[in-house]
Each structure stands twice: as C-alpha cells, then as structure tokens.
Structure 1
Amino acid sequence: MSELDSTTAPVAAVAAPIPSDVEVIDLTGLTDSSESDDERDIDEDEEGSGSDDGSEGSEIEITLNADTRAQLQTAIATVSETRLRHLLRCLVETEVHVEALLTRELITLQRGTQAVVPRWEACLNCDQEFDINTFREETECVFHPGELLPSDTALLEWDTSAYGPMDTLSNRKEYPDSFAWTCCDNDGNTTGCVKAAHQPAVPRKRKRVDE
C-alpha cells in the first residue's frame, strides 16, 4: 500500500441504517421546557402589571352621554367623602382648569382685609351653609336659642326601665312632640322662634391696620 498524503480531505460520516424494530421520535417541534416556562411567567407579569392599583386596572374608554352623566351623578352622591376629597385633591394638583374652577367656587377675598379665605361658612345658630361675601339679611337665619328637652308630661309617661333614657338624639328625632324648647316652650316640630343674620361658627379675626 502507498503512504497517504497528509493533505487528504476527511471522509464524510455515513449514517448507519436504522433497524426496523426501533421507534423514531420527532423532537423538532419541541422547545426547551424551562425557556417556555420563563416566557409564560414574563407574559403573566406583563398582564398583571398595574392590577395592584385598581384605578389603572379599571381604565376603559367611555363615551360621554346622558347615561354616563346620570351614573356619574349617582356615583358622586354615593361615593365616600374620603374618596371624593382624595379625587378632588388629585384633580387640583394635575388639572389647572379644575383648580381654577374650584378656586372660584370655594375661595374668596374677605371684605375689608382682602385676605384669601374659604368662601363658605356654617352658621353658628342654624348650621346652614352660607357665602360669607353675600350681604347678610336680618331674617335669613331662623333658629331656637334655647335647649330642646323632654317635656314634663312626656317624662311622667316614659318608662325608663323598659326603654332606657328618654333624652337621646334618636328619641328627639322619633318623638319631637315629646320635647320642648326652653326658649319658647314650643315642641320639637316647630321652626325657630328667632330670626337673625347668619353668624360664622368660627369667627375670623380681622387684621390690625398697622400689621
């Protein structure tokens, strides 16, 4: 035999024939299991992102119409005071036009001092809300200056051992005719016996001229 040349190209391997009794399994359509699991986890994380915050997860596009306006009025009437105040604060901080509208509605300049103050006050005597910059009228506030106490007749007829104390807020609302005002002796169904101008529950001090 002659000596082989070192530069001779290698001979390609020839696949051996597969015996007829061996089962062949096709693996070409399968992917790595760990890789597919990771991809599913990523997809779930992306779908779940923002779901922790209910406001982001519930964002949908709604066309404004008569139905949505009616439902909005219902929501405003029934939503908690805490949530409503939080929503207003967020809108004031992010929407300039909302801030301007609410400032006009809720803020004013106090007469005399020109100090920036809340526009609305609760009356000390009747609890009615009033605009502090509107002119006061001497008959706008109607109230009882006295106390509402159980009448002598009602006290005699009331069974404390069976019904508990009579002088309670719930009994005043449920049995107003069994109570009387100390200022006029009228029962709890009557309107105020005194008329006057509204008075703020928390009087605001006027600034001194020399300040």
Structure 2
Amino acid sequence: MDITSMLSNENGDTDASDKRSALLSAIDSAHLDRVRKVLREICTESPAAFDLACGKLLIQDDQRAGSSTKRKREPAQRRYETCMQCKAEYDTTHNPKDACRWHEGETEPDFDGDFWTDHDEDIHGIIDSDFCRKEYPEGFMWNCCGKPGDAKGCMVDVHRPQTAKKAKV
C-alpha cells in the first residue's frame, strides 16, 4: 500500500478523512528540519517504514548503471542529489548529458539598457543587490555570455552532485 492510497478517503470515514487532512496540512506547514527528524524517528521505529524510505530515497540494485550480480555489492547511493552547477534537485537514475543548464559567471546591472532609467536608489534601494537580482533579473546581464539575467544557462552538461564523493583508499 502506498501513501496516496493510505491518505485517500476510500471508505468514507469522516474522522479518518479529517485526520488525513490534518496530517497533510501538518506536513506541509512543518519546518524541513522537523520533517526530517520525524522521518528518521519513523524509520527507526518501523522496519516497514525503513524499507519504504530506502525504496524511495536510495538507488536500488536494479537501477544502478551497469549493475552486475557478479561484482562486489556497492554501498547504497542516494537517489536524489542537489546539483552543484544549477542548484536544482535531480534524480541520479536519470541524468542525461543535457540535463543541466547553468551560467559560469555572475550577473551585473545592465546600465546600458533602459530598465533602471527611473530607478532612484535613495527611494527604491540599491540596484546592485541580491534583492534586485531576485526580483528584477531582467535588469541584469550575465558576464559569462552577455545574456539577460533571466536567460537560461549558457552551459549545458550532466548534473554534478553538490556532495563530494568519498575517495577510494
């Protein structure tokens, strides 16, 4: 049984439905650290939950690239990683050569265009700031490719994990 069927209201039980709704709401509103702590506790207390979490978050033997039963069993690997280039989460079992787009450079204010013409820093705030980069990316240019700040990445490659791999000794 998966979580979707457990949380759906199949039998019309109003109390169970209310409890399911309350649980989903609590999960959605909880801080990430709280959700992680609760998941660790559930996995520690329930072997079934542990197996389910392993199935969802770790690469299974049949999902490994070039997996072979003759080789020594490899340690478990995370199924999802955060890319060090584009900062997005990706599925390590599906990482084609054109999956990641990012910029190698940084954004700089585009004072040559007319985006900032009416912007008064004394009133509206400093242009060259993290806030303006996030709120007004079209007012910036990438120094690596000269494209607008809201343009897709100029570099294309596979995703690279943010976590360092352990060196073999």
Query: TM-score, structure 1 length as denominator?
Result: 0.58
Structure 2 counterpart of 1:147, one-letter code = E
1:139-178 matched pairs, under 5 angstroms: 139-153=98-112, 158-178=119-139
1:33-72 matched pairs, under 5 angstroms: 63-65=15-17, 67-72=18-23
Give the equivalent residue in structure 1 for 2:36: 85
1:22-41 matched pairs, under 5 angstroms: none
Give the equivalent residue in structure 1 for 2:142: 181
Identity, in percent, stands at: 29
Give the equivalent residue in structure 2 for 1:203: 164
Structure 2 counterpart of 1:71, one-letter code = A
Q: Which runs of 5+ in 1 are unaligned?
A: 1-61
User: For each residue in 1:83-130, what CA deviation from the matched residue of structure 2 results, as whole angstroms up to 9, or x when unmatched?
Assistant: 212211221121111111112222337768812333321011111112
Structure 1 counterpart of 2:128, one-letter code = D
Distance 2:33 2:160 in 1: 28
Q: Which runs of 5+ in 2 are unaligned?
A: 1-13, 68-72
- Larger radius of gyration between Structure 1 and Structure 2: 1
Give the equivalent residue in structure 2 for 1:107: 58
What CA RMSD, in Å, does the superposition of the two structures yield over aligned residues? 2.7
Give the equivalent residue in structure 1 for 2:76: 116
Q: Within the alignment, does 1:129 sit opposite 2:89 as a pair?
A: yes
Distance 1:68 1:169 in 2: 42
Structure 2 counterpart of 1:80, one-letter code = H
Give the equivalent residue in structure 2 for 1:45: none
Structure 2 counterpart of 1:207, one-letter code = K
Give the equivalent residue in structure 2 for 1:43: none
Structure 2 counterpart of 1:87, one-letter code = V
**Deviation (angstroms), 1:200:** 0.9
User: For each residue in 1:51-88, what CA deviation from the matched residue of structure 2 results, as whole angstroms up to 9, or x when unmatched?
Assistant: xxxxxxxxxxx9423x4433322221111223212211
Distance 2:41 2:95 in 1: 35
Distance 1:200 1:167 in 2: 30
Query: TM-score, structure 2 length as denominator?
Result: 0.71
Question: Which runs of at least 4 in structure 1 moved beyond 6 Å after TM superposition?
Answer: 109-113
Distance 1:185 1:178 in 2: 12
Distance 1:95 1:173 in 2: 43
1:12-31 matched pairs, under 5 angstroms: none
